[in-house]
Amino acid sequence: MKSLKDLSSPRPSTISYTPSSPSPVEKIQRSLSISSSRSCETKQLLIVDADSVSLSTKTFCRSRIGYLITSLVLSAAYLLLTQVLIGLSVEHVLIALLFTLLYNGTSTTRKFIIGFSIFIVYWIIFDYMKAFPNYRLRPVAIQSLYSLEKSLFGLCIKGTRYTHNEFWRLKATPALTLMSGLFYLTWIPLPLSFAGYLFFSKKRKAFIHFSLNFLFINLIGFAIYYIYPSAPPWYIEEHGFWFDPDTTPSPGRLRDFDSIIGWPLFGLIYSKSSNIFATMPSLHVSYPSLVTFYGLKLRLPLPSIIIFIIITTGISFSAVYTSHHYILDVLAGITTASLGFAVFTFFLLQSVLFSKFVNLLIKETR
């Protein structure tokens, strides 16, 4: 039994605090400290984010201004040089305007116009050939080419020898004329459409390779035009074997196609021609040939390859049927495409310097 002394003494508290267990006061202090720390961190994050946004905005503005200045300088230089060499026309202004708009549009449009600028370069070179007529450098092959064509591929009918152009002139029908005109209209749309397919299907490496190869075979063809100026078959039909430097461009027998559709489509196209005496090689045939080669290289579906071959064959026939080219020109066009494809693939792409340039274009369009 406990004594009164024991009952009167205070009992020790049942709640004890260990070093590992903070007191309520300490908990409140820590909570306030953490809250203050988080508040400071939040303020710092807001400051950092604000700085990032400010930096991004400045970078964005600089890039947009840079794009605008670049496009305006290039467009102005193009228009000025064009005015000096051949004189400005509506299509020149439209090209400059289109380039400026696409270059300053979205990232996709900028990549698109950078890639397709290769085709613009082709057009500019072709257009500027008006300022440097090839017949001023070398004599134009007129009768010699005609005679060679007749001797190699001439058709003997009732004792008379004809070129294939002359034969089909006698055998022309509205159906063949319409078909030939439709095939001939694909000479530029086909490579452009093929390039567009490669671009939008994200095959940017193949796109750049094809586009540069297209430009390369054109450079080969243009060089041959200056080395060996030659008159088309329609020139002999309309002017004989005499050279006339003042001859205006003509649609040849494609004017029969214009008569069928009731609109001078080919008349308008050929009025923009840069060079009359440029038939050897036929680049009309080179273009679909190159598309066929790349279709095989990229292992496209068989139906696509068949379509490319049909178009190549159709354009080849149309070139002769409409008196725009000899068979020799057609064969030279296929040879130009084959040679250009081989040299580009097995030599140019193996060059270190050229490969760096190609890789830069691929990077800029991805």
How do residues 78-107 score in pLDDT, each as one tens digit?
999 999 999 999 999 999 999 999 999 999
Q: Report the alpha-carbon angle 244-246-247, nearest 5.
A: 75
For residues 31, 34, 36, 38, the Cα torsion angle rounded to the nearest 10 degrees is -140
Residue 56 has pLDDT above 70, yes or no: no
Residue 155 sits in the same domain as residue 301 = yes
Residues 112 and 230 in one domain: no
Averaged pLDDT for residues 180-206: 96
- Does residue 9 belong to any structural domain of this protein? no
Q: Could you list the residue range(s) of the whole structural domain that residue 58 is in? A: 43-133
Q: 265 and 304: one domain? A: yes
Whether residue 292 has pLDDT greater than 50: yes
Answer yes or no: is pLDDT of 17 > 90: no
pLDDT at 23: 57
pLDDT of residue 5: 43
Does the pLDDT value for residue 310 go beyond 60? yes
For 166-179, the pLDDT digits (tens) are: 999 999 999 999 99
Angle between helices 204-227 and 283-297 (to 10 degrees): 150
Region 117-141: mean pLDDT is 96
Q: What residues contact 243, with CB distance under 8 A and at least 6 apart?
A: 135, 139, 140, 142, 231
Please tell me whether residues 357 and 317 are part of one structural domain.
yes
The reported pTM is 0.82
Assess contact for 216 and 340: CB atoms under 8 A. Answer: yes
Q: What is the pLDDT of residue 271?
A: 86
pLDDT of residue 238: 92
Q: Do residue 77 and residue 211 come from a single domain?
A: no
In a domain, 33, yes or no: no
Average pLDDT in the chain = 87
Q: How confident is the model at residue 272 (pLDDT cuts 50, 70, 90)?
A: confident
Q: pLDDT band at 63, cuts 50/70/90?
A: confident
Q: Is the pLDDT of residue 25 over 80?
A: no
Tell whether 127 and 228 lie within a shared domain: no
Same domain membership, residue 149 and residue 118: no
